[in-house]
């Protein structure tokens, strides 16, 4: 991530970011989005917490990931809130 993007991202990030422990407690998955190609997926936070520690901040996960489609390392991560479309399949009737 470039310096300019880090500066603007730091302004938008909460002071106490959501941790993997918070995700597990709330029963949510981690929503991952590739900023290069738009590929997205959800990941179970339990194995991540085992590997990185339960207090690892969710917004920092993207820096350790690579897109499985285009191999980019520009990944954004957040909770997969059902009301935002993550973790739930939208159906049109």
Q: For residue 20, count other CB atoms closer than 10 A to its CB.
A: 23
List pLDDT tens digits, range 28-75: 999 999 999 999 999 999 999 999 999 999 999 999 999 999 999 999
Higher-scoring residue by pLDDT: 90, 55: 55
1 belongs to a structural domain: no
Biggest CA pair distance of the chain? 45
Q: Is residue 87 part of a domain?
A: no
Sheet containing strand 30-34, edge to edge, reads 40-43, 30-34, 75-79
The answer to whether the CB of 21 falls within 8 A of the CB of 49 is yes
* Full-model pTM: 0.73
pLDDT score for 81: 87
User: Residue 38's domain is classified under what CATH number?
Assistant: 2.20.28
Structural domain including 31 reads 20-82
- Residue 38, in any domain of the structure: yes
Domain total in the chain:
1
Do the Cβ atoms of 34 and 66 come closer than 8 Å?
no
69 lies in a domain? yes
Residue 9 lies in a domain: no
The string of DSSP codes covering 9-78 is HHHHS-SS--BHHHHHHHT-PEEEEETTT--EEEE-HHHHHHHH-TT-BGGGGGGG---TTT--S-EEEE
Please report which confidence band the pLDDT of residue 86 belongs to, taking 50, 70 and 90 as the band edges: very low
């Amino acid at each position: 991530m470039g310096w300019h993007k880090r500066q603007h991202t730091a302004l938008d990030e909460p002071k106490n970011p959501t941790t993997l422990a918070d995700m597990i407690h709330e029963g949510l998955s981690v929503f991952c989005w590739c900023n290069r190609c738009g590929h997205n997926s959800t990941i179970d936070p339990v194995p991540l917490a085992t590997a990185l520690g339960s207090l690892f901040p969710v917004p920092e996960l993207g820096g350790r990931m690579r897109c499985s489609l285009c191999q980019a390392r520009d990944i954004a991560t957040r909770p997969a809130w059902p009301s935002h479309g993550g973790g739930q399949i939208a159906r049109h009737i």
